[in-house]
Amino acid sequence: MLIKDIPPTLETNTIQAALRQASKHLQAYSDTATQDAQVLLAAITGQPRPWVIAHPEASLTPSQQENLETALVQLEAGQPLPYVLGEWEFYGLKFMVTPDVLIPRPETELLVETAIAWLEAHPAQRRMGEVGTGSGCITISLAVNVPDLVAIASDVSIPACFVARTNVLRHIPCSQVAVVQDNLLAVNRGPFDLLCANLPYIPTGTLESLAVFGREPTLALDGGADGLDLIRQLLDLCPHLLAPGGMALFEIGAEQGKAAQQIARQAFPAAQVNVKSDLAGHARLLIIET
């Protein structure tokens, strides 16, 4: 990196000045640059985000100022903020994240909310499996909110499994969730009452045009020609993985609702198959109830 690429030393050492400069660097990569700048300053100061907002006049220590400038260099180089921080919030919990895993996103909370509601309505069904766990945020969020849940969280990526295991140790007993390296739970560990998956669903031809390309792991994003390759493969295995009376939840892309339903109905001709939309009205969740 050239010296001219390094952000200049902050004009003043106040939180207000730091927020202004951090927001400027984040604008190229985030639609929520102001909020992300507040999250960054909260991490650097060790204070909650509301405190950062309420104390614009507070001064940064020399150490905090140095940490901020290091973070700005990383952001300027195109590294996503969650990777700079090393953690990100999802469903009210903080998860370790590295470039080996997808950054948890708010839209995935719809899957968690739907799963919790189903588990609460089915108190005798507590065996869960997850495919493509990444950071482990889905399974761990469910286990925290449903303490008698017993789950297996799998990922094909060994580094991702390490991140997920670290997050299990951070939040819940190891006896509640086992993290395994496996491809689509092909080593039959079922049947499961609840099966969850947030698999790659971006079409290969679309991925390179997106801002996320090259910034997060392609393995967790590339869903093949139509974005449904891995979802199709898992649905082929699902009749052996999902217990009678169980439910499967798949996060899908906004344009994939109809195609995903058709594939699911071929795998489960007698099941109830639906698509749930997010708050923006986009297809987001494929739901299969056997």
Pairing of strands 127-131, 192-197: parallel
User: Which part of the chain is CATH 1.10.8.10?
Assistant: 3-85
pLDDT value of residue 32 = 87
At 109-126, the pLDDT tens digits run: 999 999 999 999 999 999
Which of 237, 219, 227, 218 is closest to 260 using CA atoms? 227
Q: What is the CATH number of domain 3-85?
A: 1.10.8.10
Separation of alpha carbons 175 and 125, rounded Å: 17
At 128-145, the pLDDT tens digits run: 999 999 999 999 999 999
3-class secondary structure, 197? strand
Q: What percent of the chain has pLDDT over 70?
A: 96
At 89-114, the pLDDT tens digits run: 999 999 999 999 999 999 999 999 99
Residue with tokens 């202004």: 20
pLDDT value of residue 64 = 95
Please, what is the average pLDDT of the chain? 93
pLDDT value of residue 188 = 65
pLDDT confidence bin for 11, thresholds 50/70/90: low
Q: Which CATH class is domain 100-289?
A: alpha beta
At 218-259, the pLDDT tens digits run: 999 999 999 999 999 999 999 999 999 999 999 999 999 999
User: Which part of the chain is CATH 3.40.50.150?
Assistant: 100-289
At 37-79, the pLDDT tens digits run: 999 999 999 999 999 999 999 999 999 999 999 999 998 888 9
The residues near 88 (Cβ < 8 Å, ≥ 6 apart) are 82, 94, 95, 97, 103, 104
Question: Does residue 28 have a pLDDT over 80?
Answer: no
3-class secondary structure, 30? coil
* Token representation of residue 240: 């052996």
DSSP secondary structure of 207-246: HTTSTTBTTB-GGGTB--TTS-HHHHHHHHHHHHHEEEEE
Q: What percent of the chain has pLDDT over 90?
A: 87
- The beta-carbon contacts of 35-40 under 8 Å, at least 24 apart in sequence, are 36/81, 39/81, 39/85, 40/68, 40/71, 40/81, 40/84, 40/85
The residues near 174 (Cβ < 8 Å, ≥ 6 apart) are 168
Separation of alpha carbons 15 and 18, rounded Å: 5
